[in-house]
A = this chain, B = another copy of it.
Amino acid sequence: MPIRLDTRTPDFTERFRAFLGTKREVSQDVAQAVARIVEEVRQRGDAALIAFSRTFDRVDLATLGIRVTPQEVAAAVTQCDAATLEALAFAHGRIRSHHERQLPESGRYVDAAGVELGHRWTAVDAVGLYVPGGTAAYPSSVLMNAVPAKVAGVERIAMVVPAPDGVLNPLVLAAADLAGVDEIYRVGGAQAVAALAYGTETIAPVAKIVGPGNAYVAAAKRHVFGTVGIDMVAGPSEVLVIADGAQNPDWIAADLLAQAEHDTAAQSILMTDDAGFADAVIAAVERQLASLPRREIATESWDEFGAVITMASLDEAPALSDRIAPEHLEIITEDAEALVARIRHAGAIFIGAHTPEAIGDYVGGSNHVLPTARSARFSSGLGVLDFMKRTSILKCGPEQLRALGPAAIALGEAEGLGAHARSVAIRLNL
């Protein structure tokens, strides 16, 4: 059973704080093992990739090849169901259109002192995309990571995906093909991250690595951060549904379960001002669980981490929601927009009864790579800006240097940086 909280009970504050502090993942300390793997790949290149893949993925890359060939990709595409490929292409088109609107503008201006200032956005040259293997190999995630990079203008996207027992998911290859991924390598784990960061004989190094992975992949990204850029380190996923009593309990239950089925560490939370409705949703969850293919995972997630929070008024919801800072927030109430306006920390907001979060996962057009585990307090979902960087531009003429120079000299001297001061003074004959 999920935990039940009510804002009107005297111990709510205490219990809500404890709830926020719940650890949903055992953090494995794999940093040392990962450091060794990374060093090995740096030293031995392809040979290390082949050795690690033999051990961890039971696959012989010396025979099979590290790189997936265009022929293999083409063969995989022919294996895929036509209707699924069509859905993938539909999703791809919508994701691309939406992300094209995120392209930033470069520009310059001249300020009152005559100083010219500005910035210019340019794409990262080469990006590595990590795709998990096994059951978590999702073609939709390939689109969500590769499309913003393509839209940003990244010239080279290199994808790595482990091939346990030699097997790759054909739909993952089809999605990569659709999104314009340039190179695909059948390696995974910390060794794949190391190869992308430092390069091997077969894999040229990239400048930034994105994509989700297990504890080893996360630790490897943390390890190579600085040498290359990385995206956020993904944690377990969550949804918060704020709903009033006028909603269909079955719809809300379905949304809670769509989150719970991801992972036993996933979290589904309902907030409502109607205790009877809360009971109805809980009953609907139980009913729907019975016929769910992934019922074991969903049941464990719901029982361990699920929560139902009732309150006197939905007016209380935004403040509580901000403390959770949910990755996904559904607001399904009569005056949803009024609540939306009051939310500050959320990865994505899904508004109204006809926007289940699964629409955003696949075909809404917005990105499904979102900040998890309360990190929406300080970070954003993946987007085009993550694959670009900004160069700032400054230009003074003699007059501007005369106007600004004395203050720069004063500060340089105050900081004990005499050469800084001199580089200005020498131009002003001071």
Using a CB–CB distance below 8 Å, which chain A residues touch chain B? 31, 81, 83-84, 86-88, 90-91, 94, 97-98, 101, 109, 111, 115-117, 122, 124-125, 135, 138-140, 171, 207-208, 222, 225-226, 228-229, 232-233, 235, 250-251, 254-255, 257-258, 260-262, 288, 292-294, 298, 340, 343-367, 370-371, 373, 375-381, 383, 385, 389-398, 400-401, 404-408, 410-412, 414-424, 426-427
CB neighbours (8 Å) of A135 from chain B are 416
A350: contacting residue among B208, B363, B394, B404, CB under 8 A: B394
Q: Is the CB of A419 within 8 A of B292?
A: yes
Q: How far apart are A405's CB and chain B's nearest CB, in angstroms? A: 7
Q: Could you list 30 examples of A-B contacts with CB < 8 Å?
A: A87-B414, A91-B407, A94-B404, A138-B415, A139-B414, A140-B411, A226-B373, A226-B375, A260-B419, A292-B418, A294-B416, A294-B417, A340-B393, A347-B391, A354-B400, A354-B401, A354-B427, A355-B394, A355-B401, A357-B423, A358-B412, A358-B420, A359-B424, A362-B411, A362-B420, A363-B408, A370-B392, A376-B389, A377-B389, A381-B392
Query: CB distance B364 to A404 under 8 Å?
Result: yes
Q: Are A359 and B396 in contact (CB under 8 A)?
A: yes
- Please give, as numbers and ranges, the residues of chain B lying within 8 Å of A226 by CB-CB distance: 232-233, 235, 373, 375
Residue of B101, B359, B385 touching A405 (CB-CB under 8 A): B359
In the bound complex, do residue B380 and residue A389 qualify as a contact, i.e. CB atoms below 8 Å apart?
Answer: yes
Cβ of A427 and Cβ of B345 under 8 Å apart?
no
Please report whether the interface of chain A is mostly helix, strand, loop or mixed according to DSSP.
Answer: mixed
* A132 CB, nearest partner CB in chain B, Å: 12
Determine the chain B residues whose CB is within 8 A of the CB of A378 once the complex forms.
124, 207-208, 228-229, 389
CB distance from A301 to the nearest CB of B (A): 11
CB distance from A180 to the nearest CB of B (A): 19
Given A225-B233, A345-B122, A354-B427; A392-B367 close (CB under 8 Å): yes
Q: A364-B404, A396-B354, A424-B356 are in contact. Are A258 and B347 (CB under 8 A)?
A: no
* CB pair A391 B376 closer than 8 Å: yes
Chain B residues, Cβ within 8 Å of A111: 97-98, 365
Q: Which residues of B contact A377 (CB under 8 A)?
A: 124-125, 207, 389
Of B233, B354, B366, B405, the residue contacting A117 (CB under 8 A) is B366
Residues of B contacting A406 in the complex (Cβ-Cβ under 8 angstroms): 87
- Min CB distance, A234 to chain B, in Å? 9
Assess A420 versus B258: contact at CB under 8 Å? Given A97-B111, A111-B365. yes
Shortest Cβ gap from A299 to chain B (Å): 11
Q: Which of A94, A250, A355 has the most CB of B within 10 A?
A: A355
Q: In the bound complex, do residue B397 and residue A352 qualify as a contact, i.e. CB atoms below 8 Å apart?
A: yes
Q: How far is the CB of A195 from chain B (nearest CB, A)?
A: 17
Nearest chain-B residue to A325 (Cβ)?
B207
On whether the beta carbons of A364 and B250 are closer than 8 Å, the reply is: no
The answer to whether residues A408 and B361 also contact, given A355-B396, A393-B349 and a CB cut-off of 8 A, is yes
User: Chain B nearest CB: distance from A380 CB in Å?
Assistant: 4
A90 contacts B407, CB within 8 Å? yes
Distance in Å: Cβ of A312 to nearest Cβ of chain B? 25
Please state if A351 and B395 are interface contacts (CB–CB under 8 Å).
yes
- Inter-chain contact A349/B139, CB cutoff 8 Å: no
Which residues on the B side are within 8 Å of A171 (C-beta)?
414-415
Q: How far is the CA of A404 from the CA of B87 in the complex (A)?
A: 9
Contact of A358 with B424 in the complex, beta carbons under 8 Å = yes
Beyond contacts A122-B345, A351-B394: 8 other A-B pairs, Cβ-Cβ < 8 A, are A139-B411, A225-B225, A226-B235, A257-B423, A262-B417, A352-B397, A354-B427, A358-B408
How far, in angstroms, from A322 to B405 measured CA to CA in the complex?
29
Known contacts A140-B415, A420-B361; A396 and B352 CB within 8 A of each other: yes
| Nearest-neighbor residue (CB-CB) of A353 within chain B | B427
Contacts of A390 in B (CB 8 A): 380-381, 383
